[in-house]
Structure 1
């Protein structure tokens, strides 16, 4: 049964890759980039996704075991945290939202409070520095301060 599930997932991922490729080809850029434009990155990701999905279709994995209930609950917790992160990202801002999510994830996987808080602070500040200074990508500061003031 898992072999069929792997193949179905592979086909669904190929469909997602095709959707990403079509959407990226429709990007309209008002000025020229040399030599590679903004369409190249999503097209490259779509090609990589399609290639890896083909592996699932033609060489599915062996039958496996479902995770233990405790691990399955933790994995569902991770999924829930990522959804909360997506919802709070612009409202709270990158650093506070990242701090809260990383600290909660660390605690979810049995880190002590001091380790979770230090890790969260380093991850939030470090990734903010890498995005803003290293890549030149502006991250949201959050609208919560504007609401208070």
Structure 2
């Protein structure tokens, strides 16, 4: 094995693809004979990710061009990756809990999702190293507003 990082990230992504395939399998069958169903997009994304993950695993097994094997990422990068993983889990928990709280308090639909997305984006930018507060807040507000407009208003998807 020439690149341990790529190998294990590729394996982790393949496991993730397996979980996604199982979740897609659990979707209810379509009512009609439509070619595109609720599972079409996630199936395509999962298949593409699985193919790219396999390529990453196979590439990691080949010899590096310079002959030197790549090693694990430095401690600082590993800590950032681990923090981002924890932050994503907290984000999902946050928008579920805030969504329930917003529903119970009869706040407008999507309040929990929007607030947790704002907090997630601010934190994610700090974790990745951005430090310009003005740009962080501006980017977070713009992305949260864009997601709200596209999903809640345009596609009429109920947000938590």
CA distance in 1 between partners of 2:134 and 2:25 (Å)? 47
Listed as ranges, the gaps of 5+ residues in structure 1 are 141-149
1:86 aligns with 2:92: yes
Query: What RMSD over aligned residues (CA atoms) do the two structures have, in Å?
Result: 3.0
Quote the residue 1:102 is aligned against. Answer: 121
1:71 aligns with 2:77: yes
Quote the residue 2:144 is aligned against. Answer: 124
CA distance in 1 between partners of 2:26 and 2:138 (Å)? 43
Q: Which deviates more from structure 2 when the two are superposed, residues 66-75 or residues 97-106? A: 66-75
Q: TM-score, normalised by structure 1?
A: 0.70
Q: TM-score, normalised by structure 2?
A: 0.67
Quote the residue 1:29 is aligned against. Answer: 29
Provide the aligned length of Structure 1 versus Structure 2.
140
Q: CA deviation at 1:11?
A: 5.3
Q: Which deviates more from structure 2 when the two are superposed, residues 64-73 or residues 87-96? A: 64-73
Return structure 1 stretches of 4+ with deviation > 6 angstroms. none
CA distance in 2 between partners of 1:70 and 1:98 (Å)? 25
